[in-house]
Amino acid sequence: MPTIQANLFAVAGVAALAACAGPDPAVFDEGLRRATVACYARAIGDQWGDLRADCSEDALLRDFGERAASAASPAGYLRALRDMLRRLDDPHAYLEPSRQPWMRVRVGDFEAPAEANVQHAGIVRADGQWWLRVPAVAGEGAIATWRPVATLDGAPLRGRHDVDMLLPGEPGSEVVVALADGGEPLRVPRRAIALRAAPSAPPASLGDVVAPSLDATTPRFNAGRALRLPDGGSVDRSLFVWRHANVGYVRIASFRVDPDGSASALRDAWQQVVAQLADCDTLVVDLLGNGGGNWSAMACVVSPFLPDGATNVPHDKVRNAVTRVGPFAVLTVRQISAIARLPLPTLRPARTFVLVDQGTASAAEITASILRRHRGARVIGEQTVGAETCIEQVDGPDGSQIGFGLPGGMVDGCERFQGKGLAPDERIERSAATLRARGAEAARDEQWAAIRRAALRAAGVDPGVLLAPAGQGGA
């Protein structure tokens, strides 16, 4: 094992790695392909190379560089990039294809490994059991059915993390699903399990991804007031803040930020939010369905809750190996970087509630763990995903983007949850009866409304007064 050396420094305003310089992204030639695979191999090797020999820059270029550079079609080229990411065995890993005109691949030809972005609506936990959506047989009036799952490819499912690790695979290949109801095992194509494949024409920006997520999942209130936020690009589409008397409610739909400066915009917006909530004696932090995202966005949100004297967010990442020349030998040491606490006003509510579900992951789980540890927050909902790392995002010369998890995790004193998720203090699960009768979205909406009502009730607020009635834009 290499020596571990602490090297703590601030990572406050960084939304993503700087885009790698390269040739003209509009020309799909060998130079563009070679520059992109080299850019991505370098980024992955910087984070993972000293931890795993097969993930070093040299190893990745040896195994995938020529394959990507010599690919005769965009589909073959993207498969090479996809397979390079899969070597990490990381549920965070995703590839967003380029938006250039040459990138016109039919969905049937290629499916990018967008496991970090795909919501597996076909695999849902309800009443403590995992359920698989079995597509309907073609025919008028046919409906899909939900079957209880025992194992996927022979492996039991402990949590969402297991689902995310088992589902990735070559499009068209099959997952063997053993059923808990004693039925014959099913062989289900992966395309039938995932809600969607990576789009052939990705959205224009991450902001476009965040917007409908917040709009569709934000609770509506009949009393109190929504706090006005400064115009911050995707900030106003990922953050909703409401207050009634001494109760504050913060809905954070995502910790992703787009490339045009939203990290600093989020910091400015959050500073105003903190000022307006500083005298609240109760805060509800809604992280339902929040799949995580960026380090600096997460650090911004948790900084006001940290104890006096804390200089860093209690989460480290192992960055890369550094060679140091000593008086007697050349040593390779590993730097550990920590996120600096941002200079924001403090929040010291008497009571804090954090809302989570089976889609709460990564930076959102880190936030929940920190609030539980340092503010005594009561966590309401269900078991989270179990991804203790944040995502590194890298823009390639061809206009594509990759993301992958950073090695590292929670520091001593905070709960560790990698691979198992955070267990709630008050468990409210999705209803299997609703799932089977009305589908995954209805079961989710019903659960989220129940979680929110429980939190408001615990905060001393009548949820019947504050949550809009069903059918009128409620939770």
What is the reported pLDDT for 295? 76
* Cα Rg of the chain (Å, integer): 23
Judged against a pLDDT cut of 50, whether residue 200 lies above it is answered with no
Distance CA 379, CA 87 (A): 34
Are 135 and 120 spatial neighbours (Cβ–Cβ below 8 Å)? no
Interstrand relation of 351-356 and 378-381 (parallel, antiparallel or unpaired): parallel
Judged against a pLDDT cut of 80, whether residue 117 lies above it is answered with no
Distance CA 216, CA 6 (A): 43
If one counts every other C-beta atom within 10 angstroms of the C-beta of residue 251, the result is 23
**292-301: per-residue pLDDT in tens?**
877 788 888 9
**385-431: per-residue pLDDT in tens?**
888 876 778 999 999 989 887 777 888 778 888 888 999 999 999 99
The distance between the two most distant Cα atoms of the chain, rounded to a whole number of Å, is: 79
What is the reported pLDDT for 95? 83
Q: Which fold has domain 206-306+341-385+428-466?
A: 2-enoyl-CoA Hydratase; Chain A, domain 1 (3.90.226)
Task: Indicate the pLDDT class of residue 97, thresholds 50, 70 and 90.
Answer: confident
Judged against a pLDDT cut of 50, whether residue 474 lies above it is answered with no
Are 355 and 287 spatial neighbours (Cβ–Cβ below 8 Å)? yes
| Domain locations in the chain as residue ranges | 3-96, 123-193, 206-306+341-385+428-466
Task: Indicate the pLDDT class of residue 228, thresholds 50, 70 and 90.
Answer: low
Distances (CA, A) of 107 to 75, 189, 201, 202, 424: 10, 14, 10, 12, 38
What is the reported pLDDT for 311? 87
Give strand ranges (E) for 69-109: 94-96
% the chain with pLDDT above 70: 72
Task: Indicate the pLDDT class of residue 448, thresholds 50, 70 and 90.
Answer: very high
What is the reported pLDDT for 270? 86
Distances (CA, A) of 223 to 77, 276, 449: 54, 17, 17
What is the reported pLDDT for 230? 56
**Tokens representing 182?**
């004693």
Q: Work out the mean pLDDT of the chain and round it to a whole number.
A: 77
Judged against a pLDDT cut of 80, whether residue 327 lies above it is answered with no
What is the reported pLDDT for 106? 44
Task: Indicate the pLDDT class of residue 307, thresholds 50, 70 and 90.
Answer: very high
